[in-house]
Copies of this chain bind each other. A is one copy, B any other.
Amino acid sequence: MTTTSHPFYLDCDTGIDDALALAYLLAAPTADVVGIGSVSGNVSAAVGARNTLDLLQLAGHTHIPVALGAHHPLAGQFGGGAPWVHGDNGIGGVQLTTASAGLASESAAEMLVRLAHAYPGTLRVLAIGPLTNIAEALRLEPDLPALVDSVTIMGGAALAPGNISPVAEANIHNDPEAAALVLAAGWDVMLVPLDVTMASVLEEPHRQALLASSAPVPQALGEMLGYYFRFYEGIFGRPCSAMHDPLAAALAVGAVQAAVAPVVRAAVDTSDGPGRGQTVCDLRGLYAGYPPVKGARCRVVLALEEDFAPHLVETLLGFFEGTTAGLASAGSAA
């Protein structure tokens, strides 16, 4: 950990784009991942934890503890994930060597609370799955908002269409009650919604660059993306994919800058109406260039300074080809 790096707690439902976000976070020079919790979303919390451990071993980062998080959302039952997006095993059918490391003895929510106390005022929380664990941690430690440095959430759709309903995005829709608690807590939140993640598209040449890498982490990510691209071909009309979770990681790290990101009031629709799971962001200031809103604490990223995909690919190749080519090859031969 250099003097300029920040401790990160990552909460994820690994997932293909979660895998990319994790790899990006490992590669980011200013991020120090000190703990990872899993949550049901793209896959079950257990499968997400399995994938996370295996990816960490492939990347040679077996020192990072992984905690199992909530299987069910706060209300209702886990719906079974999205195998049509991420594959039955959550990582597009790619078979990774099973990690030798096991799960932490604490839950994901307990880990987050512990890390918040261990890194008071400096821990960055990056949540790229449903917000069940974060809501649980707020219940365990009501002072959590004062303890952490920042909270970045991949989730929601502000002015863009939803992806799981006309107006709801999957992470939020999978646990609207948890998301409502997290957005209402006394901390500043950066929301990275579909508005920008659907505009951050990885194309086939990017995927080929990962596949052609000498390092196994980019190779594996390129293989997973083959599955992901096939799903997104039905959305975009060509093989490519949105980059939801990695973009949130890059914004949390500070490597990518928002061009439009008003701080507004935001709530989550927890009704049983057609808006269930919608992030209701009050963007009525649009026409006056988003004047400041007193008491607002949710920064909604609506546009980026530059295209994200090249930065993502360069960061992954630059880091893993430099550090893990030999290690990871050995790992995949094990």
**Which residues of A come within 8 Å of B, CB atoms?**
159-163, 165-167, 198, 235-237, 265, 267, 269-276, 278, 280-284, 286-289
Contact = CB atoms under 8 A, between A and B. Distances in A.
A17 to B, nearest CB: 16
Contacts of A282: 161, 166
A60 B327 CA distance: 87
A289 B281 CA distance: 25
A198 to B, nearest CB: 6
B284 A274 contact: no
A270 B276 CA distance: 12
A271 B275 CA distance: 9
Contact of A275 (B235, B265, B278, B284): B278
Contacts of A275: 167, 269, 271, 273-275, 278, 280
Contacts of A274: 267, 269, 271, 275, 278, 280
A289 B237 contact: yes
A160 B284 CA distance: 9
A165 B275 CA distance: 14
Contacts of A280: 165-167, 274-275
A284 B161 contact: yes
B283 A161 contact: yes
Contacts of A281: 166
Contact of A198 (B162, B270, B287): B287
Given A267-B274, A269-B274, A273-B275, A286 B237 contact: no
B288 A236 contact: yes
Instruction: With a 10 A CB-CB cut-off, give which of A265, A269, A273, A280 has the most chain B CB atoms.
Output: A273
Nearest to A180: B274
A159 B166 CA distance: 10
A236 to B, nearest CB: 5
Contact of A273 (B269, B283, B286): B269
14 contacts: A159-B160, A160-B286, A161-B284, A166-B265, A167-B167, A235-B288, A237-B287, A269-B271, A269-B274, A269-B275, A270-B273, A271-B271, A271-B274, A273-B276
Contacts of A265: 166
